[in-house]
Amino acid sequence: MKIKSRVLKRTLHSYSQYNERGFTLLEVLIAIAIFSVISMASFSIFQTVLNSDTVTKERTDRINELQRGFLIIERDMIQIARRSMRLNGEAPLGAFLHTDNESFSSGEKGIAFVRNGWTNPGLLLPRSDMQSVAYRLNDNVLERLHFNFVDAVLGEEPKVRPLITQVEKLDFEFYDGKKWQKTLEENTLPIAIAMEIDTTDYGVIRRQFLVAGDSLQDKSDANDGN
**Per-domain boundaries in the chain:** 66-225
HSE (CB half, 13 Å, CA atoms) of 52? 6
224 versus 193: the higher-pLDDT residue is: 193
pLDDT of 49-76, one tens digit each?
A: 777 777 788 889 999 999 999 999 999 9
180 versus 24: the higher-pLDDT residue is: 180
* Residue 226 pLDDT level (bands cut at 50, 70, 90): very low
* Residue 223 pLDDT level (bands cut at 50, 70, 90): very low
Span 66-225: which CATH code? 3.10.610.10
- In this prediction, residue 186 carries a pLDDT of 72
Distances (CA, A) of 210 to 50, 75, 174, 177: 43, 10, 10, 11
Could you give phi then psi for residue 116, rounded to 5 degrees? -90, 175
* Residue 221 pLDDT level (bands cut at 50, 70, 90): very low
55 versus 217: the higher-pLDDT residue is: 55
Question: What is the rounded CA–CA span in Å between residue 84 and residue 151?
Answer: 9
% residues pLDDT > 90 (the chain): 29
Q: What is the mean pLDDT of the chain?
A: 78
Question: What is the rounded CA–CA span in Å between residue 210 and residue 74?
Answer: 9
- What pTM, to 2 d.p., does this model score? 0.70
- In this prediction, residue 85 carries a pLDDT of 76
Structural contact between residues 134 and 110, judged by C-beta atoms closer than 8 angstroms: yes
* Residue 124 pLDDT level (bands cut at 50, 70, 90): confident
Weakest mean pLDDT among 11-15, 67-71, 129-133, 199-203: 11-15
Distance of CA 222 to the CA centre of its chain: 42
129 versus 205: the higher-pLDDT residue is: 205
Weakest mean pLDDT among 15-24, 129-138, 140-149: 15-24
24 versus 164: the higher-pLDDT residue is: 164
pLDDT of 74-113, one tens digit each?
A: 999 999 988 887 765 565 666 788 776 555 554 567 888 9
